[in-house]
Amino acid sequence: MKIAIVGCGSRHKMFSGSVVEDYADKHEIVALCDSNAHRLGLASKAVPKPGTNGVATYLAPDFDRLIEEQKPDTIVVATPDFLHSDYIVRAFEAGCDVICEKPLTIDLTRLKQILEAQERTGQKVMVTFNYRYSPARTQIKQLLASGTIGTVTAVDFRWHLDRVHGADYFRRWHRQKENSGGLLVHKSTHHFDLLNWWLNSAPSDVYASGRRAFYHPEMAVELGLSDRGARCADCQVSDKCAFHLDLEGDAELASLYREAEADDGYYRDLCVFDAEIGIEDTMQAHIRYASGVTANYTLTAYSPWEGLEIKFQGTKGDITHRHVEVHGVFGGERAHAGDEAVTTELHLAGEEPRMLDVPLGEGHHGGADPVMLGYIFDPDNMEPDQYGRASDHVAGGWSILTGIAANASIETGSAVNVQSMLRARGIRLAALGT
């Protein structure tokens, strides 16, 4: 397979590294594309092509020329979220399939463009929901599908972002909804996809609330940061700010962003307490699914620890799953948890609760990334996927609709019916599993 990658920030390395290090005998990266010439040059150095002048590189305005000249089979889209739809549609029209970073896109207008282009061309897009491939999350799917706790009736799902990871969304392009859809789309698309997949159902109604409770100017004053600067690099109070990001002190961040600023003026270290930030840091949603299951969902972006807590209520009992990814932030250092931090408790009616043995994997995201990349780049040598973990335009569409409906509910103060929302925009999206 001939692969071209558009978007050469940090996330693209998962794909390029996998092809170069693990699947070079099966696939070839024929081109790289980015809006920033400096990052494009860095990415090209990491993709060796012995006996040549190196992999072909193209700036963003030359994307169509890239396709015409290099004739890739598949385009990997790893750009900022609001650009996904443009590259997906153009790739489809040129006869290319797409592997897309989550989320599929950020709003209804762009979703409609993708769905219409897919129907028109018949091309395929895979959204890389790596959480589905985590052995621990796959175990949950197996337990629910086998009826271990009977019919699932209700779910409580809480996701905690710590003050390193969470803060990072408020200092870069994600901080504006027109770029990312807010955390209910950009981040929660993972979680809503898991719920859709676990429950084998799609959201029908969403009521949500959300606000910026922590990352705002008043909190900066409360923390003694009244004289803060617009960015960390020239902030007068950075020495006493727990959220200070030292781009020059991190070799990877320095090369990817600090040294690339002259090309496009993009600053990776904007102040997390800026008044102009347009996304929420505290969000809750009540979701009703077509199957009748209801779920309560909470996301906070300033927690003292990082991970998830989820409970499934069923007619025969319940399942409680907890994963502590990071114990906390101490003296600026993140204390990553070990394998013992993943637990699943099964409590059947009339029985004592018992802790299950949780399968673990090696690699990023709880062992999910290597498994997912194996199915993407070497499916013939993988076991048949009995859990249906691959995500197409349908799964990708449903994963963002909960967040889009939640955003609309926050804005209006009213519950949002998802089908009514789709009909009003003339959007046709197949049911999950069809």
Domain end (from 129, 161, 193): 129
Question: What does the pLDDT read at residue 165?
Answer: 95
- Specify if 10 maps to a domain: yes
Domain end (from 97, 129, 161): 129
Q: What is the mean pLDDT of residues 39-65?
A: 90
- Specify if 246 maps to a domain: yes
Question: What does the pLDDT read at residue 51?
Answer: 66
195 in the same domain as 177: yes
Place 434 in a pLDDT band, splitting at 50, 70 and 90: low
Place 337 in a pLDDT band, splitting at 50, 70 and 90: confident
308 in the same domain as 182: yes
- Specify if 270 maps to a domain: no
Place of tokens 């693990």: 22
Question: What does the pLDDT read at residue 60?
Answer: 97
396 in the same domain as 334: yes
The answer to whether the CB of 142 falls within 8 A of the CB of 198 is no
393 in the same domain as 331: yes
The answer to whether the CB of 203 falls within 8 A of the CB of 196 is yes
**Mind listing the pLDDT tens digit for each residue in 129-143?**
999 999 999 999 999
- Specify if 269 maps to a domain: no
Tokens at 329, concatenated: 């932030």
- Specify if 271 maps to a domain: no
144 in the same domain as 66: no
Residue 280 CA: distances (Å) to CA of 184, 210, 212: 9, 6, 4
- Specify if 433 maps to a domain: no
208 in the same domain as 221: no
The count of structural domains within the chain is 3
401 in the same domain as 286: yes
Structural domain that includes position 238: 217-264
- Specify if 273 maps to a domain: no
Query: Is residue 331's pLDDT more than 80?
Result: no
203 in the same domain as 137: yes
**Mind listing the pLDDT tens digit for each residue in 144-173?**
999 999 999 999 999 999 999 999 999 999
**Mind listing the pLDDT tens digit for each residue in 278-319?**
999 999 999 999 999 999 999 999 999 999 999 999 999 999
143 in the same domain as 292: yes
Whole-number average pLDDT of the chain:
95
- Specify if 248 maps to a domain: yes
283 in the same domain as 153: yes
User: What own/partner pairs with CB < 8 Å and gap ≥ 24 does 421-429 have?
Assistant: 421/108, 422/108, 425/108, 425/109, 425/112, 426/112, 427/108, 427/111, 427/112, 427/115, 428/115, 429/111, 429/115, 429/394, 429/397, 429/398, 429/401
231 in the same domain as 113: no
Domain end (from 76, 94, 129): 129
**Mind listing the pLDDT tens digit for each residue in 374-415?**
999 999 999 999 999 999 999 999 999 999 999 999 999 999
141 in the same domain as 87: no
Question: What does the pLDDT read at residue 58?
Answer: 98
Question: What does the pLDDT read at residue 332?
Answer: 67
Question: What does the pLDDT read at residue 362?
Answer: 78
Q: What is the mean pLDDT of residues 201-226?
A: 97
CATH of residue 200: 3.30.360.10
Place of tokens 């005998």: 25
